[in-house]
């Protein structure tokens, strides 16, 4: 089956848990609101000071998968700042960054990219055009070498590498899951964590490798320095005030989704209370054991029956990840050349 594009964000539960923050600064930061594509999401202002050492600049790319747009962060309190992510190359972003740096009488010392996705790296050319001396870092991946070009100009990030400017010491930690090259940044002075796209301000995130993702979430939960605050600054969406609690919620959510897949595989598809619409969808050309074998989309339609169908393709990526994890653990088998899945030990009758 065709998988959704890697790294797209899945909005499953758009609950708002974080009250909007008021700017702490007297500075005339830009107050332009970016309207979220989903009215349930809180509006965020284009440039906002979130703490004495952190200003968020939105990338100007709101959408179904990017929430209010990609967050970029200017970190530190001196004349040299660190920039986290660069948006996707919209003119509004480089203009907002330029204005903010002028107001702050500061320059960007280095930019650190959380992962390779275009909505985080697309602003690099604009950044380098405006400030040719900026060092841009991204964790190298073996495939980067093959790709050549732009990726090779970026400086590699070592796991545990620390970036320092006045007011901010950020330690980069390799946390694969959303992507293989994904890095989060632990901020020592504030006891906060820049979570990239592994943890978002609203809903849940998608991932390329479930086992690696859950291991990374567990690692991230331990990266908040000494309980000094514990905020999570996500790649998309509002600030999360209690980062460790949100990460624990993400871990629980993944375990629940895995359990739901197992329960579906255990159920009889004929049970209409469990599987609304699956029979009607006409899948499965009656191979006799259809009752106990499931296609990915049958599982998605059953598990995500309360989620708009437009998000089912994105959800399928997560279900495939669960099935592959269960396959490695010997709990499921593939049938019909991987078209269908069955719980190990289930009768086919
Ligand atoms: Zn993103």
Phi, then psi, of 81 in degrees rounded to 5: -125, 160
The CA-based dihedral angle spanning residues 164, 166, 167, 173, taken in that order and rounded to the nearest 10 degrees: -10
- Residue range 33-255, CATH number: 3.60.15.10
Write the class of the CATH domain 271-343: mainly alpha
Active site residues: 119
Decide: 196 and 178 in contact? Cβ < 8 Å: yes
Q: How far is the CA of 235 from the centre of ligand 1 (A)?
A: 6
The pLDDT of 72-78, averaged and rounded, is 98
Rounded distance between C-alpha atoms, residue 303 and residue 258, angstroms: 11
Listed in sequence order, the residues at least 6 apart from 237 whose beta carbon sits closer than 8 Å to its beta carbon are 41, 67, 68, 71, 200, 201, 202, 203
Q: What is the pLDDT of residue 12?
A: 33
Q: Tens digits of per-residue pLDDT, 174-198?
A: 999 999 999 999 999 999 999 999 9
Q: How far is the CA of 177 from the centre of ligand 1 (A)?
A: 13
Of 278 and 106, the structure prediction assigns the larger pLDDT to: 106
Q: Grade residue 64 by pLDDT with cuts at 50, 70 and 90.
A: confident
Q: How far is the CA of 88 from the centre of ligand 1 (A)?
A: 9
Q: Tens digits of per-residue pLDDT, 153-170?
A: 799 999 999 999 999 999
Domain residue limits, the chain: 33-255, 271-343
Of 267 and 212, the structure prediction assigns the larger pLDDT to: 212
Is a pLDDT exceeding 70 seen at residue 79?
yes
Q: How far is the CA of 150 from the centre of ligand 1 (A)?
A: 19
The CA-based dihedral angle spanning residues 238, 243, 245, 248, taken in that order and rounded to the nearest 10 degrees: 100
Q: Grade residue 225 by pLDDT with cuts at 50, 70 and 90.
A: confident
Q: Tens digits of per-residue pLDDT, 6-54?
A: 333 333 333 333 333 333 333 334 445 545 457 789 999 999 999 999 9
Q: What is the DSSP string of 226-242?
A: GGS---EEESBSSPBS-
* Residue where the block lists tokens 């897949």: 261
CB atoms within 10 A of CB 207: 26
Q: Tens digits of per-residue pLDDT, 146-156?
A: 555 555 579 99
Q: How far is the CA of 349 from the centre of ligand 1 (A)?
A: 45
Strands 44-45 and 168-174: unpaired
Listed in sequence order, the residues at least 6 apart from 286 whose beta carbon sits closer than 8 Å to its beta carbon are none
User: What are the tokens at 101?
Assistant: 């740096």
Q: What is the pLDDT of residue 16?
A: 32
Listed in sequence order, the residues at least 6 apart from 348 whose beta carbon sits closer than 8 Å to its beta carbon are 288, 289, 292, 293, 342
Which class for 190: exposed (0-12), middle (13-18), buried (19 or more C-beta within 10 A)? buried
Rounded distance between C-alpha atoms, residue 212 and residue 113, angstroms: 20
In the three-class reduction of DSSP (H, G, I as helix; E, B as strand; rest coil), residue 81 is classed as: strand
Of 244 and 279, the structure prediction assigns the larger pLDDT to: 244
The environment of the single-atom ion ligand 1, i.e. residues with CB closer than 5 A, is 119, 197, 235
Q: How far is the CA of 119 from the centre of ligand 1 (A)?
A: 5
Quickly list H helices, 82-168.
91-104, 118-121, 124-130, 142-147, 150-153
Q: How far is the CA of 284 from the centre of ligand 1 (A)?
A: 36
pTM for this prediction: 0.80
Rounded distance between C-alpha atoms, residue 165 and residue 305, angstroms: 48
Q: How far is the CA of 78 from the centre of ligand 1 (A)?
A: 28
């Amino acid at each position: 089956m065709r998988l959704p594009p890697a790294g797209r964000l899945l909005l499953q539960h758009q609950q708002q848990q974080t009250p909007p923050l008021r700017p702490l600064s007297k500075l005339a930061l830009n107050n332009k609101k970016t309207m979220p594509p989903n009215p349930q999401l809180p509006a965020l202002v284009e440039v906002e000071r979130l703490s004495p050492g952190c200003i968020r600049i939105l990338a100007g790319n709101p959408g179904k998968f990017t929430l209010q747009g990609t967050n970029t962060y200017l970190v530190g309190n001196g004349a040299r700042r660190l920039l986290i992510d660069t948006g996707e190359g919209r003119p509004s972003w480089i203009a907002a960054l330029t204005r903010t740096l002028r107001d702050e009488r500061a320059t960007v010392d280095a930019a650190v990219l959380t992962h390779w996705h275009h909505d985080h790296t697309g602003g690099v050319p604009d950044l380098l055009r405006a400030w040719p001396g900026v060092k841009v870092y991204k964790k190298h991946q073996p495939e980067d070498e093959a790709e050549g070009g732009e990726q090779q100009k970026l400086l590699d990030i070592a796991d545990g590498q620390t970036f320092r400017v006045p007011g901010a010491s950020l330690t980069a930690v390799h946390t694969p899951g959303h992507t293989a090259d994904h890095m989060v940044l632990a901020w020592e002075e504030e006891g906060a964590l820049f979570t990239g796209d592994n943890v978002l301000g609203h809903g849940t995130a998608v991932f390329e490798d479930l086992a690696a993702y859950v291991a990374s979430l567990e690692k991230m939960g331990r990266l908040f320095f000494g309980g000094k605050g514990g905020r999570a600054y996500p790649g998309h969406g509002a600030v999360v005030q209690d980062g460790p609690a949100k990460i624990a919620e993400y871990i629980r959510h993944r375990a629940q989704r895995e359990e739901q897949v197992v329960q579906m595989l255990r159920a009889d598809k004929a049970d209409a209370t469990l599987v609304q619409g699956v029979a009607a969808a006409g899948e499965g050309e009656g191979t006799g054991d259809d009752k106990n074998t499931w296609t990915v989309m049958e599982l998605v339609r059953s598990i995500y029956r309360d989620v708009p169908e437009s998000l089912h393709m994105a959800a399928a990526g997560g279900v495939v990840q669960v099935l592959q994890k269960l396959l490695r653990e010997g709990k499921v088998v593939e049938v019909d050349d991987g078209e269908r899945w069955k719980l190990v030990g289930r009768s086919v009758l």
